[in-house]
Amino acid sequence: MSYLVRFEETFIAKENLIGYPGQYILEEWQTRFTPHYGAAFLGAAEGAYEYALAYINKQEKGHDPYVQHRIAKAAMNIDTMHFWLRHTATLWETGQQLEAKQAGNRALYITEQLATETVNDCINTCGARSLIQPSPIERILRDLSFYVLRDNSDRVLSSIGQEILGQSYDRSYFGSSPNPTPSAES
C-alpha cells in the first residue's frame, strides 16, 4: 500500500539529502516512473494471452473464427504495448525528456486500455471456466481491475488532450501540483 507520510521537525543531515525540498514534484520526477505501470499492464496481458493460447490448443478451438479474431486482437494489442514502451524508453535513453514525459503518459493510457481489452478477449475465448480459481486469468483480472484504478484513466486522457491543445495540466497527477505544466503559449 502507498501511504502519505509527513515529516515535521525531522532533522536530516545535509549529506543525507537526496535533491532539494519539493524537487520530486517541481521537476515532475513521477513522469520518469509512469511507464512502469504500462509494463505491469503489459505483463498482465501477456499472462492472460499465454494462458488463452494454451487453452485454445488444448481444447482444439483454433479453427473457430471468433477465437481467431480475439487471439489476433490480443496479439496485436501486446505488440502495440511493446512498441509504446520501447518508444518511451528510447526517448528517455536519448535525453528527449519532454517527449519522453509526453510519451510516458500516452503509453500509460494506451497500455491500460489494451491490457484490459486483451484480458477480456482472453476470457471470452476461454469461457467462464477461466474465471474459476486456480485459473491464472481469474487472478490477472482481479489484480488488473484493481491496479488500473491507481490513476484515473479519464484524468490521464484529459491531460493528454490538454497537452495537445496547449493548455496547462498536471503531468504527474498529484492534483494540486504547485507547478502545473505550462501551455505552449505560456
**Tens-digit pLDDT profile for residues 4-57:** 888 888 888 989 988 888 888 888 888 888 889 999 999 999 999 999 999 999
Is residue 42 within 8 Å of residue 140, measured between CB atoms? no
The three cell numbers locating residue 134: 486456480
Is residue 149 within 8 Å of residue 83, measured between CB atoms? no
pLDDT at site 177:
44
Q: Is residue 171's pLDDT more than 90? A: no
3-state secondary structure 97-146: HHHHHHHHHHHHHHHHHHHHHHHHHHHHHHCHHHHCCCCHHHHHHHHHHH
pLDDT at site 52:
97
* Closest listed residue to residue 109, CA positions, set 81, 72, 139: 81
| pTM tops 0.85 | no
Per-chain mean pLDDT for the chain:
89
DSSP summary character for residue 9: S
Query: Region 135-161: what's the mean pLDDT?
Result: 91
Is residue 123 within 8 Å of residue 135, measured between CB atoms? no
**Confidence tier at 176 by pLDDT (50, 70, 90):** very low
How far apart CA 40 and CA 144 sit, in angstroms, is: 9
